[in-house]
Amino acid sequence: MSGLEIERKFLVKKCTDFKSQAFASDRIKQGYICSGHGRTVRVRIRGGRGYLTIKGPSADGGLSRYEFEKEITLDEAEQLFRLCEPGIIDKTRYLVNSGDHVFEVDEFYGDNEGLVMAEVELKAPEEPFIKPDFIGKEVTGDRRFYNSHLRQNPFKLWSTDL
């Protein structure tokens, strides 16, 4: 997959039952080979499969950015983790249907424990979508909630600021 990624990010309200609404879930481990100046090279293991992803700098207030993703072998992904910068993201991703869209809800572990975010990918910035009942405050464009930032500045260090 490659092209322009358009997505909006939201915090998930506490005490909501998004897990019962999910039609699928996977544990995700991801690391960053390179992250800086808004660009990232990420390696991910999800559902026993490996992926290499390159993302460009954000545009439109964090709403869109170029993304290139390629599936790689599990062995290649495990080897690439050796090249990653310190700090691994560990989370479970739940997929929840809402209208014509699928919300990806990430529940974080480790130093990011307590953070639950949802994102929805869109075809256009102004595309309407139906928010599930668990959607809270929008955090699109807030760099604190980028995974590449969370590995360096985990949620536990600044969660009281919310």
Looking at the annotation, which residues are catalytic?
32
Find the radius of gyration of the CA atoms of the chain: 15
Q: Which of 70, 71, 59, 68 is nearest to 3 (CA)?
A: 68
3-state secondary structure 37-93: CCEEEEEEEECCEEEEEEECCCEHHHCEEEEEEEEECHHHHHHHHHHCCCCCEEEEE
Q: Which of 35, 50, 4 is nearest to 148 (CA)?
A: 35
- Reduce the DSSP state of residue 124 to 3 states and report it: coil
Q: What are phi and psi of 161, to 5 degrees?
A: -75, -15
